[in-house]
Structure 1
Amino acid sequence: MHRLAAEQHYPAQALYVVATPIGNRADITLRALHVLALVDAVACEDTRHTAQLLRSYGLQRPLLAVHEHNEASAAHEVVQRLLAGQRVAYASDAGTPGISDPGARLCVAVQAAGLRCIPVPGASSVTALLSVAGLTDGAVTLAGFLPPKGQARAQALQRWLALPTAVLLLEAPHRIVRLADELHPLGARQVTVGRELTKQFEEIATLPCAELGNWLAARPERLRGEFALVLHAPVTPGGQAAPELDAEARRVLALLLQELPAARAARLAAAITGAPRDALYAAAHAPAPPG
């Protein structure tokens, strides 16, 4: 099998961006194993975690810590190694680096030095959940992790909810109930939630946003583990993509928003104008147009 991986050319003076398993350690590719055995060093988010991962495959390589606290100096060391003719791999703790994971800034530094970044694709919670979410129009916006709290989180959520596409969100277990509360006003809009993807107790369910909180509360263990969620694009009862709101619906919504929270304003505007509540709710959270 390694013969198949060896047929590829692996130039020196290159950073190999290697996807690693997000749970099940069997989800490593043959090419990733070949690269990890070939490189002169492995840059990684957590040296202890990566050392354990490599040992599980019978590998041992020099490790370089590259994380948010030493990013500039560590990137400089990686670039110097590459300029000296080495091959270096980079692996985040799980999944594909640079996809809602560290690694993007390291790639920027390597490319700024005129050197190559070579992807070694593999596991990703993003593509894993999208593959079973049943999206038929293909339009997806990758939002990743929301800011943890405060106005930054509220503004980011408003921005994503205003979009007509499906939205891919990632969330930590200690904030998943809050996210369920934030999505609850979307009512019947569908969300596909993936918990502990590829792990022993993996769960995937598609349900209305209004039911996500109940789904989490139904079993205590559902509040543990990492989450990926696909918020499906808003649809009308007829199954078509939500139409643009007409001027009258937007006028009524704007008047109601002067006195009411977004969820109540959208509900009342829907009752008054007949416009879809999901579209009105998204419009209520849309950023104001530049003056």
Structure 2
Amino acid sequence: MTAEHSPPDAAGSATDTDAFFGLVVGVYAATLVVPAVSIAVALRVPTDPGVLFFLSLGVGVAVTAAVGRIAGRTPLAVRLGGSRWVWTAMALPFLYFGVLPLGTTFARGDALPGGMVAVALVGAIAGFLSGVGVVAASRNRHAKAMVADAETVVRFAASAPARDRRVTTWAVAGLFGAAILGFVGSALLDFAPLRWLFQLLVPAGTALYGTTTERRVTISDAGIVVATPAYKHLRSWSAYESFDVTDEEIVVRRAGWSPWGLRDFRRDATEVEDPRAVAATLERFLPRE
């Protein structure tokens, strides 16, 4: 664990650019626009698949370049990373599963052709994955900008407490078991929807287990930053109400409703070099309970 003074580093002026963030947002916008354009053209003007491919490619490049140029502003990335609305980037692509097929059926009087359904499915998946990139990139930049102005910084790395890891392991085992039963049941009963249990529960279990692995933690005047090698997230002190540090765990309790403490910040104190220094820093901002 280290304690240090962070040099000032402004979030950036309106003219500062962030080419990588602009590219991420541009690609995300393209994943939303290209499938819709491709489906609209294919339904109105039957054309050769090769022509449709190059049309989609051209639209994708144009949208990526145009949106990327606008979105590649450092202040925009920082503001977006500090907003809850950033999560809509991951939700919007799933409109392809509902709005597009229903709208097409209403307009045409018949169902969307199978090939177009496949395009919508690919668009939804690609949009979701690129939306994850938008969330991660914007939150990284928000956390970096906020911590840059902090005067006091304490850093350490630790995984979740032993009890949390144990409970999570059993929960993940249960999810995987239910997923396998769903997959087997779909084969025995010839009921395909049961396969969704496998496709949904396995990633959910993996993500749940991932929350218990080691995180790099930064405690500063701005709040608490929890980071992995690819993702950083800052929560300000207003999001918390109290803390406690014992020989086994460091707990910072979230304000408001936190069922079974699931929303709380919890790390293993035995993995921290100097838990007392962490407690002293937390005591500057929160009451100890």
Asked whether the two chains share a fold, i.e. TM above 0.5, the reply is no
Q: TM-score, normalised by structure 2?
A: 0.26
More helix by share: 2
